[in-house]
Structure 1
């Protein structure tokens, strides 16, 4: 039997800590909370039945804010909630977090994230008011970073200083669809450890695509940038490590996946 092509091969964005540990989904605080390592809190308004009052949801939010700082057992937190500044500050006092996924937030100041010294995976999705990413420089153990649908950020280029990254995804709104526009890839040229780059919903204003050749560890690239077929072929031939991702698997001339690489 022919082996099916694995489109997730060489994916270094979601290889999270404790990946074999069961993730516990909840809204209310479970009685087993002190034994959980991977926690998924799903408390957006749409996640509740219509019969649940706004007052109850506000009370539940307060309960989580008060409890989270004491949960030293939690190493992975995914939070499907419109996180405000108070909630964010509470999360940033969790001592042993290694993986942290935010679904949406109104936070403007992320400086407290510097307290999460053990963080290796971070996802900031739909941070509608965030402008400054400078605090991320303090996360020396960070290896995987995703920032999407956060259009007010003014200094995406500072990510180029996070030279320890193995996986990086930055983008706009995939479902919009709306691309994030960044000036250049040049600020990212020192990401020598980067193995997976996902810019599927990013446009590069200065078309500095040759910078990819300086990312010498890059194995997977997900991007659909407009360029000549000759340029795309040149990049794929010159980059000795690049072997997977939409940029490699898709035939942009025929507008279809290459043979045996259907996703």
Structure 2
């Protein structure tokens, strides 16, 4: 636990809570004293993540929701009227296709923006009002270093993450004066199943091996490696320990944005 981050008495809602990064966020926030609500589409994955937290003495609740669907988010909000959510971590998202723009179908493009941008808008729209009434709260949007530098064959993903940075900064200006801090956290490639999938698709597209695709990608970072989920989770806690942080984007990419 970060000794400077005490979240006792606060309830944190994490979307994409059943995935590796969502689990890491939930575990770190729970260790810091927060009650956590894990939200996602995979009920079994959510239940497993919550069980691990409760086994370690934390408080966890799960709720199934498709954040890209307005009716699903409305149902989630109604389901959680008994909760005082003061920390929203918008982590849910999809990687999208790995192919040249001219080969991407409109439905593929729309699916990425629905999850990565509309989902954040819908969740903020649903859970901001109580924070504004209370005059305090935190929203952290999980963006990506890919929203700040080119990533070939991933146009819908990079465009969606650039859009998320704009959403974050603008919303921070809207609600900051009312006591709600909105920031974004931009990880570099996080080691795990999603990046393994991307490396396999890149290998198929370019004719290299997945291992070569990973080495090439990691070589673009100043530290020459991917980042780990627990490193990103620790960065989230560090952000919450900085009460003056608002409208900011924190880069945690092992130096992926550093010039080559």
TM-score normalised by the chain length of structure 1 = 0.30
Structure of greater relative contact order (alpha carbons < 8 Å, 6+ residues apart)? 2
Which structure carries more helix by proportion? 2
